[in-house]
Amino acid sequence: MLIKISKSNQLNENSVTDENIYHSRRKAIKQMGFMGAGALLASSFSNQAQAGFFDDEPETFKTTKLNFTSDNNKELIKTPEKKIISHNNFYEFGTNKTDPQEKAQQFNTNPWQLTLSGECDNPHTLDYDDLTKAFPLEERIYRMRCVEAWSMVIPWIGFPLASLIKKAAPNSKAKYVAFETLYDPKQMPGQASRRVGGGVKYPYVEGLRIDEAMNPLTLMSVGLYGKTLPPQNGAPIRLVVPWKYGFKSIKSIVGIKFLTHQPPTTWNILAPKEYGFYANVNPEVSHPRWSQASERRITTGGLFARNRIATLPFNGYGEEVASLYKNLNLKNHF
């Protein structure tokens, strides 16, 4: 194979770091005794084949155009759509980055029901059509920073979670909001097999403090690049919390519940010393096994188009959200 490497794009030590991290995240799972050696081996093989996959694989899922207004955030260079829909974490469909695109195409997201319940005056359920029609849709171009130290810039379509919460009318006891992904092992091979699903306890669950959930940046996303969400990105509706590590942005949500107490969250259950409840992007607080000071921004195509940049506090959204944490020690509450 002939590979042309231009000076500016050379593969250096830094640019492979997040792949190492990915393996090390999986290794931790394995050490906890959740995963067979076979799975780990298979994964490292397909990981090597991953670069070529981005450019060759056709899109097979169906999307629909959406009507929205755009915030036109011009400083951010968007990650190409092809990358956003082919480099995914969605362990319900497998733990390799390419598994969700390969295995989620038959995922049936219509009909769908999203139920709001718990400490609120107006518990209710949204059907599939409500998801794109109940609230005016906006485009929000956000940075997305995975805890594995790669990042993208994604043009999401959605509506503020605050609009949905106001409709549910939480009462004064509601201090936290819990989210739950669909549980359907017949459709989600990772839920049917511990090996495929990486040892995660399903359904995938997440949570926010209610003031975080009400922050205007917090989005319920129903689309990207002007169209409905592909299944691998969390169709038909997922959370986007741009100042937190990507694992907080839970996909394919069926339940939202208002609680008096902090809910358990998936990665915190799996490895509490490594993944906290808050998970605010913080270059000064290292993961126990790797630094969070920089990240690989996924921009244009191919294995060699790698871009190492400094990670920003709160992923660049400090002006909007730092005040939420003025009484919190962010080292202890990582």
Ligand X SMILES: Nc1nc2c(c(=O)[nH]1)N[C@H]1C(S)=C(S)[C@@H](COP(=O)(O)O)O[C@H]1N2
Residues interacting with ligand X, by CB under 6 A? 88-92, 144, 146, 181, 204, 233-234, 246-247, 249-252
State which residue has the least CB distance to ligand X: 246
Q: Which uninterrupted H or E stretch holds 257?
A: strand 253-259
Output DSSP code: residue 121: S
Give the one entry of ligand X, Mo ion, none that residue 181 binds, where binding means its C-beta sits below a cut-off of 5 to 8 angstroms depending on kind.
ligand X
Nearest distance in Å: CB 253, ligand X = 8
Q: Which uninterrupted H or E stretch holds 53?
A: helix 50-56
Binding mask 226-255 for Mo ion (x = CB under 5 A): --------------------xx--------
- Which residue reads 């959204």 in tokens? 317
The count of C-alpha atoms lying within 13 angstroms of the C-alpha of 226, restricted to the half-sphere facing its C-beta, is: 6
Torsion angles phi and psi, residue 310, rounded to 5? -70, 140
Give the one entry of ligand X, Mo ion, none that residue 251 binds, where binding means its C-beta sits below a cut-off of 5 to 8 angstroms depending on kind.
ligand X
Residue 111: cis peptide before it, omega within 30 degrees of 0: yes
Nearest distance in Å: CB 80, ligand X = 13
The count of C-alpha atoms lying within 13 angstroms of the C-alpha of 74, restricted to the half-sphere facing its C-beta, is: 0
Give the one entry of ligand X, Mo ion, none that residue 91 binds, where binding means its C-beta sits below a cut-off of 5 to 8 angstroms depending on kind.
ligand X
Nearest distance in Å: CB 130, Mo ion = 28
- Minimum CB distance to Mo ion smaller for 160 or for 246: 246
Give the one entry of Mo ion, ligand X, none that residue 250 binds, where binding means its C-beta sits below a cut-off of 5 to 8 angstroms depending on kind.
ligand X
User: From residue 226, how far is each of 156, 230, 299 by CA, in Å?
Assistant: 8, 11, 19
Binding residues vs Mo ion (CB under 5 A): 89, 146-147, 246-247
